[in-house]
Chains A and B, each alone.
Chain A
Amino acid sequence: MTSTAMASSAQNTKKLDGLTLRYLVLIGLIVIASVGFSFANENFYSLTNIGILLRSIAVLFLLSMGMTFVMLTGGIDLSVGSNVAFSGGVGVIALTTTGSAFIGFAAAIFAGMAIGAVNGFFIGRLKLSAFMVTLATFALARGLALVIYDADSINVSNQTFLWLGGVSWGNMPVVIPFVALVFIALSVVLYKTTFGRDVYAAGSNFATAFVLGRRPEKTLVWVYVLSGALAGLSAIITVGRVSSGQPWAGLYLEFDAITAVILGGTSLFGGRGMLLGTILGVLLYGIIINGLVLTGTNPYLQSLIKGMILLGVVLLDTYTQRGKTA
């Protein structure tokens, strides 16, 4: 083994150790938060509350997994929350027009992918700033949602369409095994396919990936399309949860997703992170939100706590990154 290869191998081990440590810290925080909240409120560990907790973060799981792909490329997708409202509207209108739940499902997912494709085209092909492009589609998708809904909600009674977001097996919402399947599928895509390697390559060093013929600009397009598709899926779950299509669905979810992804160890600068970390990040974030509600924490204090968590993880991420590049 050459000295360069040995150094690279040692660096990889160090990187793996860093992430493992991060996950151990997250698991520790999850345990501490859970135990703390269970002392504050005995209902915390009730099966009903665990079911509520899992159902409430199902959409965040999906959006955060999409956001992880995006952030691994060094990008950001601010449009996902608005996309949930828009694609939900398209799905519900397709459902009410045709009476077919499956056409409704397809329409929601395609609508989500369409917004993702717009993001991907401008960011990947035209090399525009991800922040600015998705900030624009954040407003655009919400505006479209308000227009197609005429700013009012649409009730949905089709049980097939409502099944995924609304039905539970006992205390277990059916959406949770579904999210687990999506997680497995996306893990395979990220870790076992060329596309997954291209995602990491685009985020680690875009120029090098380009020189090596990895077509990073194409990867970017597909990453945003994937994020859009997951927003479409999230829309279906959201409609099922509230038995109606809502023009204000998904408000501020992009910020929750970004927080959870960074919390899970994915770098703001791209190229580093794993889906497992995102799952842990979402879980921790969900437990904190659930616990704050259960304990009746003053809303002003809740904002403060959430802000401090975000600031803390951004600082942690920035210092970790500086340490790596120093």
Chain B
Amino acid sequence: MKLSKTLAATTALVSAFAASAALADDALDIVFINDGHVAPYHVAWLSGFEDAIAAYDEAFDDVKVTGRWLSAEGSLEKMIQQAEVTINEKPDIMFVNAINVDAFEPLVAKAQAEGITWIAVHSPMDSADYSFTLGDVVNGTNQGMAMCALSDGEPYKVGIMLGQAGNPSGEARREGILKGISTCDNVEVVAEQPADWDTVKAQSIAENWLTQFPDLDAISGVTDGYMYPSIAIAANSGRDDLHFYGYDGDIPIMQQMEGGNVKADILLSGTREGWNFVQMAYRIHKGETPDKVYDFFTPLVLSEENHKIALENGFPEDVQVYYVDQALEVAQNGYLEFGPDSVK
């Protein structure tokens, strides 16, 4: 009796294992190659990506979902090497946030010849199968127009912290911000400085600006990573009147918008974007064909009060704005819009 029970249990276990193995014979292997891994946005990105991989793998019995995140630590050569090694591994989908897209053109063709889907992240590539973009120029323009609308027509001096020189995404954001600012006459850009996506460099730039331009009204940046040190330095210097215009939708920055000096932000949310990568990969794997240039939805974030002021000052009504509570909700639970339920 005991032996027969044991045999039955073993048979059941083996059958269950065989059944699950048969169910998961389809595999989706995703590799994300990024230029870094230490900036606050990258940390959120990685966390969203890894959580989404685990969630999709658990949610679907018919597909084994795996993923890896590689960081080139800012080095073009390392990123090329990582892409070459990855192509040799033949994953299903590669997301590449290229340091410079021109350098990756030869590798896109190589990956496609191996049957790998290449998705260019943030900086679009014609040769890639898909480009996952943020609408950087439009977002930047919205940030610039918000500056115009919230400056009340008074002379308004602003310093803009840029990305790494030559980085397409950073350049597009700059182009947008300047375009937005150009819609009014009172906002003057007194300084532009690349901080290379580096919070430490942003810190020294903010210190220099506060010394060099005592009448500075605002600091604008192409990433919220610059806002953390800038806000701290302004507070330490007694500059409670300085305004900040961020980009990324980091939760701690958006939390300072109600009654605080952070006037506007762009809601990307790294976590949310990380989830969207996995959702997009899953959809492609299941035979869907997203738009070749896939625009991640990134609204402008303002407090309700500031939105009213902005509208009174001529801010366009058709610009989609999220208020702080709504933006925080999306940033915190935004993965729900890209979770396994969204594709079931």
Contact = CB atoms under 8 A, between A and B. Distances in A.
- For A59, A166, A296, which residue has the most chain B Cβ atoms within 10 angstroms? A296
Contact of A46 (B70, B71, B88, B106): B88
B106 A151 contact: no
A241 B85 contact: no
Interface in B46-105: 46, 68-71, 73-78, 80-82, 84-86, 88-89, 99-100, 102-105
A248 B88 contact: no
Contacts of A252: 73-75
B37 interface: yes
B81 to A, nearest CB: 4
Contact of A244 (B37, B78, B86, B102): B102
B259 interface: no
Contact of A242 (B46, B80, B82, B89): B80
A159 interface: no
B68 A242 contact: no
Given A289-B81, A296-B68, A146 B165 contact: yes
A120 B166 CA distance: 31
A52 B84 contact: yes
A253 B74 CA distance: 11
B85 A248 contact: no
A242 B272 CA distance: 32
Contacts of B103: 153, 242-244, 246
A17 interface: no
Interface stretch (A105-113, A211-219, A277-285, A299-307): A299-307
A59 to B, nearest CB: 7
A246 to B, nearest CB: 6
Interface residues of B, number: 31
A299 B85 contact: no
Interface string A270-302: 000000000000000000011001101011101
Contacts of A302: 71
A185 to B, nearest CB: 24
Contacts of B85: 49, 52, 290, 293-294
Nearest to A85: B76
B93 to A, nearest CB: 14
Contacts of B70: 293, 296, 299
Contacts of A251: 74-77
- For A149, A166, A246, which residue has the most chain B Cβ atoms within 10 angstroms? A246
A250 B102 CA distance: 16
Contacts of A303: 37, 73
Interface in A12-47: 41, 43, 46
B193 interface: no
5 contacts: A52-B85, A55-B84, A242-B102, A251-B76, A289-B78
Given A55-B84, A243-B106, A253-B77, 4 more contacts: A56-B77, A56-B81, A166-B106, A296-B68
Closest 3 CB pairs of A and B: A296-B68, A299-B71, A151-B165
